[in-house]
Structure 1
Amino acid sequence: MKAFLNLLFVLSGFVLLGQPNFGEATIGKLQNSTLRVSGETNVTGFSCVFDPTYFEPQKKIAYCDQGDLILLRNATLKLNLDGFNCGGKAINKDFRAMLEAEDYPEIILNFKQFNRVERGYEALVNIALAGQQHTYTIPVEIVQGDLKHLKGILKLTLSDYDLELPKKLFGLLKLKEVIAIEFDIAGNLNTAF
């Protein structure tokens, strides 16, 4: 029994030592951010701009800097589909219908980690859209200044989310399958480690 307790004590020490040490950060002034979803049809393009007043005023996240890898927890942006303006009532309605807003009223961007790479950073981002989730690795730019900026463009294939692409004018106007989410997440960053 004593040997078992000693083994348990040693193993619990390894488990505790192996846990990353997370610090906390608060990101404020997120209303300075911009986000746009854009795509193309066989005739023209469209752009739906997210109203930044729908962002939370501040967000608490946890992070662990491990050299070339920064792990994140709670680094989630919830984008209420009511916050998107595509330029008119009809296209707003089509956008919401395509993304199944009645059942899934938010797009959720969950940043999991940043990797330092030769040309900057790559972000591992989980996207929840219309009841499905997929994870992407995308290049991002981090810009320092009065406000910190995280900029990037994420291209999604709509069929990955089993979305029905809207067709207009008896099928003559068709949405192409790839859309882009272009973001510039801006805010002030206060860290406590």
Structure 2
Amino acid sequence: MIRYKFFLLTFYFILPIFHGYAQGKQHTVQVLSSEISILGTTNVNQFSCTLNESGDNEALRVSSNWDQKRLTFNGLILSYDLKGFDCGLKVMNTDFQEILHADEYPEMKLEIRIIHIPASNNQIAILEVNSDVSVQIAGVSRRFLVNEGRVINIAEDELIFEGQQQMKITDFGITPPEKYFGMVKVNDELTVSFSVRMKVETL
């Protein structure tokens, strides 16, 4: 089960989804679902491991203030059970867990800190954005600027935030493993992509 820790959530942009929400009012924010995928390669093939999670239906009460530059999140942390990822085959699931040291560090975490709204955006339903996120794997946290992101207005009170970032296994203190006496070698590069669906309600 995915767990969400939210201490304070502050919005800094009047997205179309927030029309009708007065500035300075408190809102209830509920994470409806999320999906995270980790894509990697070896010298002989590639792998893609995905986890889909539904929210725990616990409404989140937050304060919000907006401007035209960014959405700032303080404490938006999503935790994922590495043993819940599906890589397509059981043996690949086991290898994936070994690569990321799941026995010692059973969870990876994604913290969404800031979503930056470029001034060049002129879309309504879909905004191309940059975001400041942290990823924690094997107990090591690294901060990244994600340049490939979108905020999608899917309903009057719902949005999806998507992002994708390339990183390295060695960023997290993990040595890319070798198997079968060195015949199969995991490459250092990984791509992490995520999609988080949220509902916003005025208190």
- Structure 1 length normalisation: TM-score? 0.77
Deviation of residue 157 (structure 1)?
A: 0.8
Which of these residues, 122, 127, 131, is aligned with residue 123 of structure 1?
A: 131
Q: Does 1:185 align with 2:196?
A: yes
Displacement after TM superposition at 1:59 (Å): 5.8
Change (3 A) 1:37 1:191: farther
Q: Is 1:134 matched with 2:142?
A: yes
User: 1:103, CA displacement in angstroms?
Assistant: 2.0
Higher helix share: 1
Residues in 1 aligned to 2:191 and 2:59: alpha-carbon distance in whole angstroms: 24
- Residue-pair matches, total: 170
Of 125-134 and 166-175, the range deviating more from structure 2: 166-175
Residues in 1 aligned to 2:189 and 2:163: alpha-carbon distance in whole angstroms: 16
Shift of 1:87: 1.7
Matches for 1:1-193 after TM superposition, within 5 Å: 23-30=26-33, 33-53=34-54, 55-58=55-58, 60=60, 62=62, 63-117=64-118, 118=120, 120-139=128-147, 140-146=149-155, 147-192=158-203
C-alpha separation in 1, matches of 2:189 and 2:58: 31
- Gaps of at least 5 residues in structure 1 are 1-19
- Choose 1 or 2 for highest CA Rg: 1
Larger strand proportion, structure 1 or 2? 2
SS at match of 1:113: strand
Over aligned residues, Cα RMSD in angstroms?
2.3
CA distance 1:101–1:71, change in 2 (3 Å): same
Looking at structure 2, the residues matched to 64 and 102 of structure 1 have their Cα atoms a distance apart, in angstroms, of 41
Question: Quick one: distance in 2 between partners of 1:111 and 1:22?
Answer: 22
Distance 2:137 2:105 in 1: 7
Moved over 3 A (4+): 20-25, 55-59, 61-64
Question: What is the distance in 1 between the residues matched to 2:163 and 2:61?
Answer: 19
Report the AA paired with residue 99 of structure 1.
Answer: L
Distance change in 2, residues 1:94/1:172 (3 Å) = same
% identical aligned pairs: 21
Unaligned runs of 5+ in 2: 1-11, 13-23, 122-127
**Whole-Å separation in 2 of the counterparts to 1:66 and 1:154:** 26
